[in-house]
Structure 1
Amino acid sequence: MCKKIKTDLPDCYLRFAEEEDVPLILDFIRRLAEYENMSDQVVATGEQLQKNLFGEQRYAEVLLAYYHDQPVGFALFFHNFSTFMGKPGIHLEDLYVMADFRGKGIGTTLLGYLAQLAIDRNCARLEWVVLDWNTHAIEFYHALDAHPMDEWTTFRLTGESLKKVANNNYTRRD
Structure 2
Amino acid sequence: MTVGQGIAGAAFTLRDAEPADLPEILRIVRELAEYERLGHAAVATEEDFGRLLFGPAPLLHAVLAEREGRVVGGALWYNNVSTFTGRPGIHLEDVYVEPRHRGLGIGRAFFRHLARLALERGWARLDWQVLDWNEPAIRFYEGLGAAALDDWRGRRVSGDALRRLAE
Partner residue of 1:170? Answer: none
1:84 aligns with 2:84: yes
Partner residue of 1:6? Answer: 3
Give the residue type in structure 1 aligned to 2:81: F
Give the residue type in structure 1 aligned to 2:138: I
- Give the root-mean-square deviation of aligned CA atoms: 1.0
Gaps of 5+ in 2: none
Shift of 1:20: 1.1
Give the residue type in structure 2 aligned to 1:116: R
Q: Distance in 2 between matches of 1:163 and 1:121?
A: 37
Give the residue type in structure 2 aligned to 1:6: V
Q: Percent identity?
A: 44
Shift of 1:8: 4.7
Q: Distance in 2 between matches of 1:57 and 1:159?
A: 25
Partner residue of 1:165? Answer: 165
Partner residue of 1:152? Answer: 152
1:26 aligns with 2:26: yes
Q: Which aligned pairs between 1:1-174 and structure 2 lie closer than 5 A?
A: 4-9=1-6, 10=9, 11-167=11-167
Q: Distance in 2 between matches of 1:55 and 1:112?
A: 27
SS across alignment from 2:22:
helix
Shift of 1:72: 0.7
Q: Distance in 2 between matches of 1:16 and 1:157?
A: 31
Q: Distance in 1 between matches of 2:20 and 2:27?
A: 13
> Which whole-Å deviations, capped at 9, do the CAs of 1:63-96 have from their partners, x for residues lacking one?
0011222211000000000000010000000000
Gaps of 5+ in 1: 168-174
Tell which structure's C-alpha radius of gyration is larger: 1
SS across alignment from 1:7:
strand
Kindly report structure 1 stretches of 4+ aligned residues shifted beyond 4 Å.
none
Q: Distance in 2 between matches of 1:122 and 1:68?
A: 34
- The number of residue pairs the alignment matches comes to 164
